[in-house]
Amino acid sequence: MTAVAVSQSRARRDGSRTKITVGLSITGLYVLVALLAPWLRPADPLAQDVANALAPPSGGHWLGTDELGRDVLSRILTGASIDLPIALAVTLLPCLLGTALGVVAGYFGGWADAVVMRVSDLLQAFPMYILMIVLVFGLGPGTSSLLISFTAVGWVVYARLVRGEVARVRSAEYVAAAVTGGLRAPRIIALHVLPNTLRQTFVYLTSDLVFAVTALAAFSFLGFGVQQPTPEWGAMIAAAQPYLDAAPWLTVVPGLVIAVLAFGLALLGDGLQDGTGRR
């Protein structure tokens, strides 16, 4: 390795660490806020005070009040404990399902592989957002509908990713040795295949979280997601839309909160990808 190559490699590693550190710090801060929201918020996020509606930011209400006189800061802080768990759930569920199907398809091949791949081909033929909207519309708005639609559509990428990795590992000598040694398939998968395939899945999962956060907000904005009066950030932006002119802070603040979280998660995912040397 030349001196230049060593220097480039070190710079990439340092850049990756910086991204991971900043990304983790931002995400960690949000997680902390989500955990401590009940103690951090200055007021009940659902308490209405219509006489004090649309009040601008002040000493009494640092981020002002909304159209029903509710404290915006309290709603933003509480929103962290609503958006983060849902975003995590709508990312983890398709990940688990996709990983399971990808392992089956990649390890066993044959008809199992054919079925999983044809179904994923079918799903990928549709625009993802449209398919999810159709599913949520059919199921009715709410968190459970979001979980079902994200899982039903989102598993495909994980299944393809894992299938490829498993098929690669499946032909490795240590797996062949385990088969020859008489180990049963589930044991081989658990001990030898999965540990060597999940790194890529994890990296993709962090990127997928960015999509989940923004998609969740978009669904709530469209009225398909979390319902009022729950202080979910996307729903807050939707409710504030008519007041864009009179009370811009109602849309700007939750919008910024979502953007910063997405930025943090994107940095984290980017850093992990750089760290693994794959893109």
Partner 1 sequence: MPRRLPVRRDRAHLRIAVATALLATGLTACSSAPAENSGSGNPVAGGTLNVMRANPFEGFELDKQTLNSSFQISDAVLEPLIRAGADGKTLEPGLAASWSYNAGNTVLTLKLQPDAVFSDGTPVTAEDVVFSAETWKSGSNYGATYAVIAKAKAVDEHTVEFRLAYPDTALPAFLSWSSAGVVPDDFGGKPAKEFWQKPVGAGAFTVEKWSANGEVVLKKNPRYWRDGLPHLDQVVSTFAADPNTIGLRLRSGQADMADEIWAVTASTLPKEYVKSQPEHLTPVLLMNTEDPALADPKVRQAIGYALDYSALVTSAYKGFGTVPSGALPTNSKNWAAPSKPYFAHDPAKAKSLLGTAGPAKLTLHYANDPSSGLVAQIVQRNLGAVGVTVELQSGDASSTFATVSGGDYQLGMFSYNAISPDVSDPAWYVAGTRSMFTGLNPDPLVAALGDYAGTDDVKAKAAAVTRVQDILFEQAPFLALAHVSALEGQRTVVKGAEITPWGTYYLDTVWKSE
- Binding to partner 1 by residue 241, rule CB under 8 A? yes
The reply to whether 246 sits near partner 1 by the rule CB under 8 A is yes
- Left, alpha or beta for 232 (phi > 0: left; psi -120 to 50: alpha)? beta
> If you search the block for the tokens 């997601």, which residue do you land on?
225
* Among the listed residues 141, 164, 255, 275, the single contact to partner 1 using CB under 8 A: 141
Binding segment (CB under 8 A) for partner 1, from list 74-82, 121-129, 243-251, 269-277 = 243-251
By the rule CB under 8 A, 139 interacts with partner 1: no
Q: Measured from the CB of residue 138, what is the shortest distance to partner 1 in angstroms? A: 12
Asked if 52 interacts with partner 1 (CB under 8 A), we say no
216 contacts partner 1 (rule: CB under 8 A): no
Closest by Cα among 229, 170, 253 to 244? 253
- Distance between CA atoms of residues 25 and 240, nearest Å: 29
Among 29, 31, 43, 48, binds partner 1 (CB under 8 A): 48
Task: Please report whether residue 239 would count as binding partner 1 according to CB under 8 A.
Answer: yes
Give residues 149-208 in contact with partner 1 (rule: CB under 8 A).
none
Amino acid letter at 270? D
Candidate list 43, 67, 100, 108; residue touching partner 1; CB under 8 A: 67
Spatial contact of 163 and 113, defined as CB atoms under 8 Å apart = yes
CA–CA dist 40, 110 (Å, integer): 55
C-alpha torsion 100→106→108→114, nearest 10: 100
- Please tell me the distance from the alpha carbon of residue 179 to that of residue 251, in angstroms, as a whole number: 58
For partner 1, the closer CB: 58 or 228: 228
- What does the buried/exposed string (b/e) look like for 89-127 if buried means 16 or more CB atoms within 10 Å of the residue's CB? bbbbbbbebbbebbbbbbbeeeeebeebbeebeebeeee
| Binding test (CB under 8 A) with partner 1, winner from 8, 58, 227, 276 | 227
What is the nearest approach in angstroms of partner 1 to the Cβ of residue 75?
Answer: 12
Dihedral angle sign, alpha carbons of residues 175, 176, 179, 180? negative
242 binds partner 1 (CB under 8 A): yes
By CB under 8 A, residue 263 contacts partner 1: no
Please identify which residue in 29, 68, 123, 198 interacts with partner 1, judged by CB under 8 A.
Answer: 68
CB of 147 to partner 1, least distance (A): 18
Exactly one of 4, 181, 184, 245 binds partner 1 (CB under 8 A); which one?
A: 245
Q: How far apart are CA 253 and CA 234, in angstroms?
A: 11
Q: Using CB under 8 A, list all residues that contact partner 1.
A: 46, 48, 50-51, 53, 67-69, 140-141, 223, 227-229, 239, 241-246
